[in-house]
Structure 1
Amino acid sequence: FPDFIKTYIDNDVRGAEICGAYKNVLAIASGISDGLKLGNNARAALISRGLIEMHRFGKFFGAKEETFLGLSGAGDLFLTATSVLSRNYRVGLKLAQNQKLDSILVELNEVAEGVKTAYAIEKLAKMKGIYTPIVNEVVAIFKGTSVQEATQSLLKQND
């Protein structure tokens, strides 16, 4: 490794895997927020709520709390949910412009893992009774709910 890279060892494989998958869905949501020009405060609130949601989901499956606050959790989430280099964030930006998901994915010509992950998390969360409002609204958008309606739905929820 180059001198400017430091590696960290963590034995919470399950937590790291959940963080690595879940943050992609949250990046889509963040892209939608930015695409709607809701501002930095809205994006920060969304990412913060997303981190709590991701932790709630992971905790159910035995992941360690500190994993979600470390580099594979909060660190990767903050980067992926704010960077135009993130494929999933770009999907969210385009969804906010009322583009259809199928055409976005064709145009992207790369894999945006958050799309399939959102469906998987939603299904698993419903089966296990885990509260995942952001994931649920992202999936609702994929299924045709307007981004404005989904945003309003999230704002009405108290968690």
Structure 2
Amino acid sequence: MDRFRRIDQNNKNYIDASDLQVAFSTPASKYPIVGARMLLRLFADGSQMNFEQFVSMSKFIQQVLIAFKRHSPQGMQIAQFRAAIQELGIFIEEQTAISMYQLALDMNNNRFGLLEFQFVVVFLKLGEQLFASWTGDGDGLLHIGYERMLCLLMWFM
């Protein structure tokens, strides 16, 4: 509760993307606002987060940190990346893993650190949530029309 209160300096009983950005920033680097927004989408309604949602998010971030540290003692390559996401319960085909890894490298000048790993994991988890919400009939197939496809594209922006 103390950590939540430190982040919620205005005593609003919720935190938003700018609060998360400040909380995760360091003197050396500013945490990207897009990362804060992605976390809000994953653990809350997308605009603000209450204490319980914050606790869930904190546990998730701790799991991500542990998986990253366990699989990247000498730097994270594709094999370590795949093992780390599998430890977090994310099972994707090898080609998809390679594409996600390469995309993260391309976005950050061939650097794949904790922040890039967290972004990819959150992106994959958001995709899982979206897929689950659109496959309600249990057949494991995604049936979407044009409007849902547009929503899908906009949802990740």
Same fold (TM over 0.5): no
TM-score under structure 1 normalisation?
A: 0.31
Kindly name which structure, 1 or 2, has the bigger radius of gyration based on alpha carbons.
2
